[in-house]
């Protein structure tokens, strides 16, 4: 029979019960507060495995804190994702033979909202399938009316402080998506060409200039050399003739030029290169724009006007070659900036945009340095500090239709002002005619406010405003997200929270690594190695996925997710399922009652199990508080499978016929329920089902495990634990001897450093299936002995012929020696010529043979002692 929690329909029933009973909501009467914000998924499609990791880790913390008595706000949300979502809907329109321009701005926005509703519903369903226990009654969208007001208030606040300005800068420009911030540009190494072009000199001769972008020469306003480069010292102040255009441009000197690059002489194109732009500023060179926002050449390009700049490149090169301006063309590997959304090549472009000045971040930089927000792992604090110290003004305007429209208005008299509400008159002159800026804000602008806009900041007049939320939940307790959006999102939330509320928005910041495939490769559709979390949930259950992700989540390391890891998690739940059924069945058979199990164990086994539970509880709590999710999963796996199922359940069989049987089985039921409470945040469905099974109840009629208290760590009984360590060692040694001798054993003797009473000896005999086990002070005559750390075990060899066994083991050693010789690994000539792959395979085989030899030799040593 399969484990019910693996069935998706069954999970949905449990989830709806939890949700309908209000278990996920805030408990305002609890004095301890815990707030965690969901990084809002983009309304662009299905959730991926990275979402599954982030949300699983967050949910582990939220469930743990609820059970530990906190009022928990786990804030859910969705992001409008300006560029990405607009691209999705534009592609849908194109598939229908339409463009956004054909249906107009209002019609297009209506289409995007339709897509948002469809996508949002799917994302919420997916999150619920994963068992995410967020406060769904507080679900927010970054373009909600209330959050829209917060965005406008933040903009106006910074605008009025002079921290938001409109200016003409050189920015990163995508000819498809418009303006981009620096961190939205992804650099890829590409094999291109380096063109060595001849620029004629006005006084005769020519100078060679190397460039990767020959088509931009129409915007050249100068040539430039290093003032210390003796090759060109005589040319400084002279003029060169611009190929294809024929007019003269000056030759200037600047330390920026690297004499070792190309010919040591470079072209200066201030309108289309960021470094040239700065050079132009220093030398008062007027930029010459030669193509527009779509990358189409203007009249400055002569015969190439109206062509796309990339399509024009080969035509320009052909024309240069025909007129003798090309010295040579060679292959050249260089970094090319690409749009992070559409992968188009980025153009440096001079444009009038809105900028949030870097000074806004100064307070957050100082407070992070003071340790007012703690990073996990700690090294991310250094990465953050280094990036923030080189911060540039943030270009916040985007040439889109979908998003928060910039709340700046210009009246008929030319007065410009920001307003939260739709203005009636100009605050300067009273004019009632004005226009609003057409651009929208960068998506990350609204996301930067997420830690407090969701708590009602700036929305005091809204009907859903809760005055206490900001006081209770700001700063947030912890942020859990991927390290890849540290600068996109985390840094911006830090500067926004500190600047607008005076406090950093998070006490702790946990940044997890990326999920890769089992070989360490980044997942991609082209490689065919993408793992769909929803497919795993439907096939294996969400608990298997959640536990596997937690088990792999070591701080600072990428996760290598494989089917084997998920299968291991599934087997773990099955092991707990079988153990629970075994205990429930046996408790009933010995006259016990699941509804009345002892809360405080009194039997030897019960007290030992409780002591080990206490030790595990302490370690798990510490690991959870330090966000060591891998340790949490490993500790629980080791205790529940390695100790409880493998040992405690086995020990219980030795009590089946004793008078203590009802107590022993009842105590183990009680302790397993506490273990399930520890495990619940990681595996909510399985633990709920098993907790109800061991309580003799069902969730439909009974309180959830979610309402039970998370176990507290109490004192261990180290003396009793040492006793059971000796018992287990004796059992393991006796089982090993029985396998070696391959004959029935009726009598065994034990010497122990730890006192063992008759009950302990009974357990040793029962689990090693030997009729009698006795304590002795010295080794009996004619006995086979095996010495461990705590116990020495002796088996009487009277009547047992071990000579045949010794002969068989020696034959096995001889066979392994011959096999080792055939590997030829002691032949230096072979080692020098053999392929690396063959040597690695032979070395692995040698290691296996050596391990077998050591095991056999140990057995021989025992028999010959």
Q: Mark the binding-site residues for ATP, compressed into ranges.
A: 525
Q: Which residue has the tokens 């809002």?
A: 40
Q: How many helices (H) and strands (E) does the chain have?
A: 26, 29
CB 640, CB 576: distance < 8 Å: yes
- Torsion sign across C-alpha atoms 217, 223, 228, 229: positive
* Buried-exposed string 512-551: b where 16+ CB fall within 10 A, e elsewhere: bbebbbeeeeebeeeeeeebebbebbeebbbbbbbbbbbb
Find the helix or strand (DSSP H, E) in which 608 lies. Answer: helix 604-625
Task: Give the bridge partners for 79, in sequence order.
Answer: 42
292 vs 65: CA distance, rounded Å: 55
Tell me phi and psi for residue 506, to 5 degrees: -135, 140
End-to-end Cα distance, the chain: 50
Q: What is the DSSP letter of 640?
A: I
How large is the greatest C-alpha to C-alpha distance in the chain, in angstroms?
Answer: 115
Secondary structure class of 418 (helix, strand, coil) = strand
3-state helix, strand, coil in the chain (%, to 5): 50, 20, 35
Inter-residue contact 448 to 488 (CB < 8 Å): no
Helix H or strand E encompassing 621? helix 604-625
Give the residue from 57, 75, 131 showing the smallest Cα distance to 536. 131
**DSSP class per residue in 246-257:** --EEEEEE-TT-
Output the CA torsion sign for 28, 707, 681, 699: negative
3-state secondary structure of 319: helix
The sign of the torsion formed by the CA atoms of 722, 723, 727, 730 equals positive
Ramachandran angles phi, psi of 303, nearest 5° = -65, -15
d(CA 517, CA 182): 29
Within 10 Å of residue 624's Cβ, how many Cβ atoms?
A: 20
Detail the residues annotated as belonging to a binding site: 525
Task: State phi, psi for 357 to the nearest 5 degrees.
Answer: -70, 145
Closest among 192, 198, 260, 208 to 229, alpha carbons compared: 260
Q: Are 41 and 124 in contact (CB under 8 A)?
A: no
CA dihedral defined by 274, 276, 280, 285, rounded to 10 degrees? -120
Task: Report the alpha-carbon distance of residue 479 to residue 475 in Å, rounded.
Answer: 10
Helix (H) or strand (E) holding 153: helix 145-160
Helix, strand or coil, per DSSP, at residue 286: coil
| 681-692 residues labelled b (16+ CB within 10 A) or e (exposed) | bbbbbbbbbbbb
858, 787 contact by CB (below 8 A): no
d(Cα 296, Cα 305) in Å, to the nearest integer?
7
- Cα–Cα distances in Å, from 542 out to 132, 210, 621? 10, 57, 23
């Amino acid at each position: 029979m399969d484990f019910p929690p693996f069935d998706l329909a069954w999970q949905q029933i449990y989830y709806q019960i939890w949700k309908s009973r209000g278990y996920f909501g805030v408990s305002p009467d609890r004095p301890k507060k815990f707030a965690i914000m969901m990084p809002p998924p983009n309304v662009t499609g299905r959730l991926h495995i990275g979402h599954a990791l982030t949300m699983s880790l967050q949910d582990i913390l939220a469930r743990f804190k609820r059970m530990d008595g906190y009022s928990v706000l786990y804030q859910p949300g969705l992001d409008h994702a300006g560029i990405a979502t607009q691209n999705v809907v534009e592609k849908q329109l194109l598939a229908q033979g339409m463009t956004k321009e054909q249906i107009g701005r209002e019609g297009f926005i209506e289409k995007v909202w339709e897509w948002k509703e469809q996508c949002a519903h799917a994302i919420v369903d997916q999150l619920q399938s994963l068992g995410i226990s967020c406060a769904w009654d507080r679900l927010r969208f970054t373009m909600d009316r209330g959050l829209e007001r917060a965005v406008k208030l933040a903009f106006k606040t910074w605008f009025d402080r002079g921290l938001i300005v409109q200016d003409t800068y050189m920015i990163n420009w995508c000819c498809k998506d418009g303006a981009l911030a620096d961190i939205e540009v992804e650099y890829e190494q590409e094999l291109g060409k380096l063109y060595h072009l001849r620029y004629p000199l006005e006084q005769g001769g020519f100078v060679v200039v190397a460039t990767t972008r020959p088509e931009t020469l129409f915007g050249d306003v100068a040539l430039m050399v290093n003032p210390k480069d003796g090759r060109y010292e005589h040319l400084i102040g002279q003029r060169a003739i611009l190929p294809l255009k024929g007019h003269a441009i000056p030759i200037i000197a600047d330390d920026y030029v690297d004499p070792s690059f190309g010919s040591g002489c470079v072209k200066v194109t201030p309108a289309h290169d960021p470094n040239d732009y700065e050079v132009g500023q220093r030398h008062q060179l007027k930029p010459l724009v030669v193509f527009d926002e779509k990358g189409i050449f203007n009249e400055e390009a002569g015969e190439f006007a109206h062509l796309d700049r990339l399509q024009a490149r080969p035509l320009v090169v052909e024309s240069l070659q025909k007129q003798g301006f090309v010295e040579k063309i060679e292959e050249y590997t260089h970094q090319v900036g690409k749009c992070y959304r559409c992968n188009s090549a980025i153009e440096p472009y001079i444009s009038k945009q809105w900028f949030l000045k870097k000074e806004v971040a100064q307070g957050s930089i100082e407070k992070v340095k003071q340790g007012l927000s703690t990073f996990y792992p700690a090294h991310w604090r250094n990465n953050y500090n280094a990036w923030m110290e080189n911060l540039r003004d943030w270009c916040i305007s985007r040439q889109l239709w979908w998003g928060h429209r910039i709340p700046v208005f210009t009246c008929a008299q030319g007065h410009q002002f920001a307003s939260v509400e739709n203005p009636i008159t100009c605050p300067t002159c009273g004019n009632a005619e004005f226009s609003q800026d057409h651009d929208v804000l960068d998506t990350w602008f609204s996301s930067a406010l997420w830690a407090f806009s969701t708590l009602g900041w700036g929305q005091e007049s809204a009907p859903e405003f809760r005055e206490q939320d900001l006081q209770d939940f700001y700063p947030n307790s912890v942020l859990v997200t991927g390290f890849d959006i540290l600068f996109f999102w985390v840094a911006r939330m830090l500067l926004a929270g500190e600047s607008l509320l005076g406090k950093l928005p998070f006490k702790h910041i946990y940044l997890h690594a990326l999920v890769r495939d089992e070989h360490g490769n980044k997942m991609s559709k082209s490689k065919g190695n993408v793992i769909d979390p929803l497919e795993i949930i439907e096939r294996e259950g969400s608990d298997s996925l959640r536990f596997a992700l937690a088990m792999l989540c070591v701080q600072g390391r990428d996760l290598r997710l494989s089917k084997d890891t998920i299968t291991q998690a599934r087997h773990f739940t099955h092991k707990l399922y079988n153990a629970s059924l075994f205990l429930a069945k046996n408790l009933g058979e010995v006259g016990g009652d699941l509804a009345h199990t002892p809360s405080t164990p009194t039997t030897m086994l019960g007290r030992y199990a409780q002591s080990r539970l206490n030790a595990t509880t302490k370690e798990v709590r510490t690991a959870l508080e330090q966000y060591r999710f891998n340790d949490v999963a490993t500790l629980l796996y080791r205790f529940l499978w390695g100790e409880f199922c493998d040992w405690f359940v086995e020990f219980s069989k030795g009590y089946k016929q004793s008078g203590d049987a009802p107590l022993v089985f009842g105590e183990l039921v009680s302790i397993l329920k506490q273990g399930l409470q520890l495990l619940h945040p990681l595996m909510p469905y399985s633990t709920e089902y098993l907790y109800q099974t061991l309580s003799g109840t069902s969730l439909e009629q009974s309180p959830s495990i979610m309402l039970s208290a998370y176990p507290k760590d109490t004192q261990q009984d180290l003396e009793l634990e040492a006793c059971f360590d000796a018992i287990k060692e004796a059992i393991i040694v006796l089982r090993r001897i029985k396998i070696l001798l391959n004959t029935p054993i009726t009598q065994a003797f034990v010497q122990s450093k730890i006192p063992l009473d008759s009950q302990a000896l009974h357990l040793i005999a029962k689990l090693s299936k030997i009729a009698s086990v006795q304590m002795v002070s010295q080794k009996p005559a004619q006995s086979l002995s095996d010495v461990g750390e705590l116990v020495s075990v002796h088996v009487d060899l009277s009547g047992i012929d071990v000579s045949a066994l010794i002969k068989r083991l020696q034959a096995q050693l001889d066979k392994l020696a011959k096999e080792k010789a055939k590997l030829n690994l002691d032949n230096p000539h072979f080692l020098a010529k053999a392929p690396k792959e063959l040597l690695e395979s032979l070395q692995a085989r040698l290691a296996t043979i050596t391990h077998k030899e050591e095991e056999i030799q140990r057995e021989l040593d025992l028999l010959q002692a």
